[in-house]
Structure 1
Amino acid sequence: MTGDPRQQSAPVVRPSVWETYGPADLSAVPVFSGGFINFGYWGSVDLGSPLSEGDRVRSEQDLYRQVLDAAAPGGGRAVEVGCGLGLGCALALEEYRPEAITGVDIHPQQLQRARLANAPLLEARPDRLRFVLGAAESLPFGDGEFDCLYSVEAAQHFPDLSAFAREAARVLRPGGRVAVASFFTVDGAPGHADRLAGLLDSFASGLDIARPASRLTDALAGAGLVDVRTRSIGPQVWPGWDRWLSRLWEPGTWPRNFLAAWEQRILDYYLITATRP
């Protein structure tokens, strides 16, 4: 669906996504201290020392900074797809100074939480921050509305990466940037979907979808975007994430298998960028 955003209907939410980000409220789970709901970029954290809540929050913020550095939202209009509680939108607004930023999420309960969490900022700067209900594959915006589009650890949930890529190209102005950080299967990994389902409950349940990073890069190129690039940031994600999980989860429990999947070259974490010509 493209074109007039006024004709958009309410998005359909997959059951596993509805439960995890609604009634279950993943942002309240202790491993996601700070409420950003991402695995973190741990490059600035000393993993040889005991980890603090401050270290965890910094890792989540630093993952956003990696993506925002690549998206270059300064001075333009930005949109975050899969904004969750909107804390990344607030960070972008404070540190990168875009003209305005829109957070879009498919889950209405997440948007309620985002508006509550960012109430003072919304009240102080209603012209610069807003939160909107919408799906990645059917964005409720007009053509060429944004200078950059970014997404942090949400694309593993998107059912149709080709539709997302087309929508990203549509809502960007010429010269606009896309930056996506998420975990994907490693290209060429045999039987990746079955292997991941055996290791990780989030893949077995269908919450996370097993696809290679090339599925998204090919989709972005197919949508007419150029300078499509992929960079693995797994070394800065997986060891720190596992170190943090070790505070709450014993070895052999399924969340600890993210590191095992990376070490077995089944799964990795990528930063993917592209430009609308």
Structure 2
Amino acid sequence: MDRIHDLAVAPAVRAVYGPQDLSSAPAFAGGFINFGHWAGIPLDRPLTTEDRVRSQRDLYRHVLGALDGADARAVEVGCGLGIGAALALEEFGFAAVTGVDIHPEQLERARRANAGLLARAPERLRFAHGAAERLPFEDGRFDRLYSVEAAQHFRDLTAFTREAARVLRPGGRLAVTSFFLPVGAEDAGGELAARLESFASGLDLAHPLAALVDALGTAGLTDVRTESIGDQVWPGLDRFLAGVDMPVQWPRNFLPSYRDGLLDYYVITASRPPTTNT
């Protein structure tokens, strides 16, 4: 049974990841579709496409490095083109990765982008149609769950964290990275919508960091930790965008919004407690 057949996808999300194919935009060179982790990349010179691709790969590396995923079975929620899933297998030694995405067009692109790996090791890389709020897997299927710059699109953080806890085995770990409203700016959604078209259109949702942290705890996950990495994301992204010919300039407002304390970029980790005998 298709567990997501009745789950609505916001029109802006459907358009951007469907026919518009955000991965083809120059700002997302390399197909990873994330803002990047720019630590170690000099920003005092013109940035290249190679720098941009490195930043996106390094964001995955930063997240995957927090998971200790060697020989683990993992699921990536919001996998896009699946290039990050391939990186998890090739660089971090995950035993298997299943990429989940709500957009059939993205899954088709992911299968094309990873055709060689799928042919060589079909037991290690899989793709599945599913939603963050309704993952199409049995309980306890995975050792690790991660999501890279997709949570800003999730309609229901409580449903996502409940599903994450369900599909993780006891002792499993989770890592999520995306941009959220920091503590003290929980009511900044209106201001962000005035500055950033992605919030005004409903493509991105103004989720408070505290809402995700609370939802993880409610779902029974423990050892919840948050790491702000805004300094490693926004300045480098803005420096790169300054050299890209874009049809609109509103993405340059991410850096001022960060500096004004309206949003930040975080890595959030948590664990499902191991089963204990009483």
**After TM superposition, is the score higher than 0.5?**
yes
Matched, 1:221 2:217: yes
How many angstroms apart in 1 are the aligned matches of 2:108 and 2:53? 22
Deviations 1:150-170 (A, max 9, x none): 000000000000000000000
Indicate the residue corresponding to 1:183 in structure 2.
179
SS in 2 for 1:57: helix
2:9 maps to a residue whose letter is: V
Q: How much has 1:12 moved relative to structure 2? A: 3.1
How many angstroms apart in 1 are the aligned matches of 2:39 and 2:135? 33
Matched, 1:144 2:140: yes
CA contact (8 A) 1:249 1:255 kept: no
- Which residues of 2 match residues 114-133 of structure 1 at below 5 A? 114-133=110-129
Moved over 4 A (4+): none
Change (3 A) 1:107 1:7: closer
2:213 maps to a residue whose letter is: T
Match of 1:97 among 93, 96, 104: 93
Match of 2:48 among 52, 76, 84: 52
CA contact (8 A) 2:4 2:134 kept: no
CA contact (8 A) 1:249 1:256 kept: no
Q: How much has 1:53 moved relative to structure 2? A: 1.1
How many angstroms apart in 1 are the aligned matches of 2:164 and 2:62? 19
Matched, 1:24 2:20: yes
Q: How much has 1:225 moved relative to structure 2? A: 0.3
Q: How much has 1:221 moved relative to structure 2? A: 0.6
Matched, 1:34 2:1: no
Deviations 1:117-166 (A, max 9, x none): 00010000001000000000000000000000000000000000000000
Indicate the residue corresponding to 1:79 in structure 2.
75
SS in 1 for 2:66: helix
Change (3 A) 1:61 1:242: same
1:215 maps to a residue whose letter is: A
Q: How much has 1:191 moved relative to structure 2? A: 3.6
Gaps of 5+ in 1: 1-5
Gaps of 5+ in 2: 274-278
Q: How much has 1:23 moved relative to structure 2? A: 0.5
CA contact (8 A) 1:155 1:180 kept: yes
Change (3 A) 1:254 1:7: closer
Change (3 A) 1:190 1:12: closer
SS in 2 for 1:162: helix
Q: How much has 1:76 moved relative to structure 2? A: 1.1
SS in 2 for 1:71: coil
Q: How much has 1:9 moved relative to structure 2? A: 4.2
Q: How much has 1:207 moved relative to structure 2? A: 0.3
Q: How much has 1:102 moved relative to structure 2? A: 0.2
Matched, 1:8 2:3: yes
How many angstroms apart in 2 are the aligned matches of 1:179 and 1:261? 24
Indicate the residue corresponding to 1:3 in structure 2.
none
SS in 2 for 1:228: strand
How many angstroms apart in 2 are the aligned matches of 1:56 and 1:170? 35
Match of 1:158 among 154, 161, 164: 154
In the alignment of these two chains, the number of paired residues is: 271
2:78 maps to a residue whose letter is: G
How many angstroms apart in 2 are the aligned matches of 1:9 and 1:105? 11
Change (3 A) 1:126 1:196: same
Q: How much has 1:190 moved relative to structure 2? A: 6.1
How many angstroms apart in 1 are the aligned matches of 2:25 and 2:50? 16
Deviates more, 1:6-15 or 1:225-234: 6-15
Deviations 1:68-88 (A, max 9, x none): 011222111000000000000
- Which TM-score applies when normalising by structure 1? 0.95
Matched, 1:257 2:253: yes
Indicate the residue corresponding to 2:200 in structure 1.
204
How many angstroms apart in 1 are the aligned matches of 2:84 and 2:162? 24
SS in 2 for 1:41: coil
